[in-house]
Structure 1
């Protein structure tokens, strides 16, 4: 585990990338992603043009483990931090979508979105997956790092995977994957960023959720 964490820390500092050009494609919002069917669990090479993504089917044990967990509005489970391997609903986005285009190739942390053969960006509710969380998806070689968020993700356990074009976004579609947290990010850093953006409802919601969570942890520690 020490080796894996050290590797993750080294990899998240690698290579940045910006959006690919696909101006011939219609601009889609995140809400339009539902028109795509769930991603197929396939094997084989990746296509640079269409963004073929290979993910492995979640194990039966992970699927069965969701029983007894509280669920979000999509019926997907919330987990304890100690449960690092989990069944997660994923969607995809790109920086040329109409609800992201004003931010260009920058993420919510103020750094370039990442899409390399080793490290890729992802968005999530920072009260669920705090800024800097590193994870793997079963069947893929890359590490993913949570450095972005989205209003549609707030209050859910969904993870939005960054892709470099709308063609790639469509190829990912919406799929349930087996996700393993390699290293947790920082709630303190998440709160610091969000505290300056509470005029946005989704940021205020995440900020309040993080404060409730950290206050509860502090109270629990003090009572011991």
Structure 2
């Protein structure tokens, strides 16, 4: 498996160097084994430290769950940013409703992370779409909501990347930490997400269709 992971990260590292590293993408969760990440990092310089990659090519939701009562999430093959599958979110009745993934035991205090998610909706009108971190540290008196990236003019019918950075203060105890995708402008609109990537550090990488096509067998093998 290390050879497969090596190949994935080697290519992503190449993209990182060539593209100047803008974090991007949406998908379903696969946590990269940290022992393997460290082993690869020793051998390949300038490779982004991938913490989580979700492409849904396993055919499973891989850690993503509904955010809100009545919301449903399902892996479907009727649309995708790369590969065959994406996560389809339905049953929303509030702007914050959507899909979420719990990161409490994945991200660490004192670290900064680059986050990339690809999103698509099919409304005739542009929509306000965002990725938000719901968090509660032991230093918080109540749950807080941190915008990572929100775009008020996301057009319908095309995949759009939302990307930004998120820093966790040093010395805190994480009680809750969940990344979620929402469409505040339209509480009833269904949408898709795909190719989610979280990287430690301020520079990230994206899974482009071209890179995915070249290394699809490694993604699928790793996720199965």
TM bucket, shorter chain? under 0.3
Structure (1 or 2) with the greater helix fraction: 1
Structure (1 or 2) with the greater strand fraction: 2
Q: TM-score, normalised by structure 1?
A: 0.27
Tell me: higher relative CO, structure 1 or 2? Use CA pairs within 8 A at least 6 residues apart.
Answer: 2
